[in-house]
């Protein structure tokens, strides 16, 4: 994602922000919400307090602030941003030997392009989630969400929504037009995906900006179905709303991946940086993260929670293709971003 422009809002929607002491030798640049002490309790036990957190709204903002001279020690980004950040020179590799859970990171999620595609580990996966069709189970028949064609179905005109996010939008469009690996998309496949988004545009109530917004629209009945992150149905179900989450559409669904990068000019403690990311991977952190809609990239810790817990969080097994929102070339991301802006403007 710059995957999610409002990840922090998703967490705030599910859990009030806690208050806690801060350890001043490590500055974490992050989405609001990830300061939750339950996500890094082993760090607190070792250092007596949490790191210092500074928040950003989206990764483009974070990137520009860092280029302008802001200094952090570690920064939370999603996989799609990795090539640009690496090329800029503002991040440096992690030492694999200091990552306690390195051997049990989920290789099917991180893939060669993120985890082991080069000799250096520039991106350390920590959290992931799924994107699929969230829908009002009382008003939308199951057969209508068996396919992503619900987004072009005129019967739902004005009652649909997709994210105001280029990565999520194109993940949906590529899946709907038969592409499950966007890194290999041809010019023709890109044009087909863009044409599909143009068709969908006229059917939408809006492009949702953050999970709280789309959850409210669904709870009010204004939106009957949406392309949404798994934390949305988790939150709606907690409120007693009759929400369904269809990850097994005929065309497939998508997964996104985020993690931390090690800042080249960080002025804090390198030892604390490793303590922090290791705490994020710790088994004790897995359940608190899952309850907020996030799967840990430490597969051993994740699987220890059991299939029922994963299914309830929208991260269970699927039987259809998955499009992994892994890094794209800067050229391809820019082309998609430009097209998406034109589509949203009605062109």
Q: Does any domain span residue 73?
A: yes
The predicted-structure confidence for 52-102, as pLDDT tens digits, reads as follows: 999 987 788 899 999 999 999 999 998 888 888 999 999 999 999 999 999
- Within its chain, how far is the Cα of 79 from the centroid? 9
pLDDT for residue 302 is more than 60: yes
Q: Does any domain span residue 2?
A: no
- Structure confidence at residue 6 (pLDDT): 39
CATH number at 157 reads 3.40.190.10
Question: Is residue 110 located within the same domain as residue 249?
Answer: no
CA-nearest of 270, 269, 301, 273 to 288 is 301
Query: Mean pLDDT for the chain?
Result: 89
Question: Is residue 272 located within the same domain as residue 250?
Answer: no
Going by DSSP bridges, is the β-strand pair 295-296/160-163 parallel, antiparallel, or unpaired?
Answer: unpaired
Q: Does any domain span residue 63?
A: yes
Question: Is residue 204 located within the same domain as residue 335?
Answer: yes
The predicted-structure confidence for 230-274, as pLDDT tens digits, reads as follows: 989 988 998 999 999 999 999 999 999 899 999 999 999 999 999
Query: Cβ distance 242 to 44 under 8 Å?
Result: no
Question: Is residue 332 located within the same domain as residue 212?
Answer: yes
Q: How many degrees, rounded to 5, is the angle at CA 319 between CA 317 and CA 320?
A: 120
Query: Cβ distance 218 to 302 under 8 Å?
Result: no
Question: Is residue 73 located within the same domain as residue 48?
Answer: yes
- Structure confidence at residue 184 (pLDDT): 85
Q: Does any domain span residue 1?
A: no
State percent of the chain over pLDDT 70.
Answer: 90
- Structure confidence at residue 23 (pLDDT): 53
pTM of the model: 0.80
Among the residue ranges 99-113, 136-150, 238-252, the one predicted with the least confidence is: 99-113
For residues 37-46, average pLDDT: 97
270 three-state secondary structure: helix
Query: Cβ distance 50 to 42 under 8 Å?
Result: no
Among the residue ranges 27-41, 135-149, 167-181, 328-342, the one predicted with the least confidence is: 328-342
Residue 322: both structure tokens together: 């998955």
- Band (pLDDT 50/70/90 cuts) for residue 212 is confident
Question: Is residue 113 located within the same domain as residue 211?
Answer: no
**From CA 77, how far away is CA 331, in angstroms rounded?**
19
Q: Does any domain span residue 181?
A: yes
- Structure confidence at residue 147 (pLDDT): 98
Residue 247: both structure tokens together: 């990850």
**From CA 242, how far away is CA 186, in angstroms rounded?**
39
| Domain count across the chain | 2
Locus of tokens 């709870």 = 219
CA-nearest of 113, 249, 109, 110 to 178 is 249
Query: Cβ distance 161 to 223 under 8 Å?
Result: yes
Q: What is the dihedral of CA 134, 75, 257, 313, to 10 degrees?
A: -50
For the four alpha carbons of 136, 138, 141 and 142, in that order, the dihedral sign comes to positive
Q: Does any domain span residue 26?
A: yes
Q: Which helix (H) or strand (E) holds 161?
A: strand 160-163
Question: Is residue 45 located within the same domain as residue 173?
Answer: no
Q: Does any domain span residue 121?
A: yes
Among the residue ranges 7-11, 100-104, 268-272, 307-311, the one predicted with the least confidence is: 7-11
Question: Is residue 172 located within the same domain as residue 205?
Answer: yes
Question: Is residue 184 located within the same domain as residue 79?
Answer: no
184 three-state secondary structure: helix
**From CA 200, how far away is CA 302, in angstroms rounded?**
35
Question: Is residue 326 located within the same domain as residue 203?
Answer: yes
**From CA 322, how far away is CA 327, in angstroms rounded?**
15
Question: Is residue 220 located within the same domain as residue 260?
Answer: no
Q: Which domain holds residue 98?
A: 7-128+255-312
Residue 128: both structure tokens together: 């992931």
Question: Is residue 288 located within the same domain as residue 334?
Answer: no
């Amino acid at each position: 994602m710059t995957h999610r422009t409002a990840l922090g809002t998703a967490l705030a929607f599910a859990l009030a922000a806690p208050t806690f002491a801060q350890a001043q030798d490590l500055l974490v640049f992050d989405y609001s919400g990830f300061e939750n002490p339950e996500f890094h309790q082993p760090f607190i036990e070792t250092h007596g307090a949490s790191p210092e957190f500074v928040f950003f709204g989206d990764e483009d903002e974070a990137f520009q602030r860092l280029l302008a001279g802001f200094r952090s020690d570690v920064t939370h980004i999603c996989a799609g941003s990795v090539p640009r950040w690496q090329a800029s020179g503002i991040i440096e590799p992690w030492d694999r030997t200091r990552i306690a859970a390195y051997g049990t990171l989920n290789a099917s999620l991180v893939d060669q392009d993120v985890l082991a595609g080069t000799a250096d580990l520039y991106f350390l996966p920590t959290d992931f989630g799924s994107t699929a069709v969230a829908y009002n189970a009382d008003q939308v028949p199951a057969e209508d969400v068996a396919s992503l064609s619900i987004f072009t179905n005129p019967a739902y005109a004005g009652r649909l929504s997709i994210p105001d996010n280029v990565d999520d939008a194109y993940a949906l469009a590529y899946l709907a037009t038969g592409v499950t690996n966007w890194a290999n998309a041809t010019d023709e496949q890109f044009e087909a995906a863009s044409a599909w988004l143009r068709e969908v545009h006229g059917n939408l109530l809006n492009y949702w900006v953050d999970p709280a917004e789309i959850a409210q629209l669904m709870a009010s009945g204004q939106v009957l179905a949406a392309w949404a992150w798994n934390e949305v149905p988790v939150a709606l179900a907690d409120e007693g709303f009759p929400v369904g989450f269809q990850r097994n559409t005929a065309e497939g669904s998508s997964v996104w991946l985020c993690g931390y990068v090690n800042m080249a000019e960080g002025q804090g403690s390198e030892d604390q940086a490793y303590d922090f990311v290791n705490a994020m991977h710790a088994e004790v952190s897995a359940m608190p993260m899952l309850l907020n809609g996030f799967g840990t990239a430490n597969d051993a810790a994740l699987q220890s929670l059991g299939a029922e817990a994963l299914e309830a969080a929208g991260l269970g097994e699927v039987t259809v293709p998955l499009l992994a929102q892994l890094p794209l070339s800067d050229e391809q991301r820019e082309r998609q971003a430009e097209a998406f802006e034109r589509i949203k403007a009605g062109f």
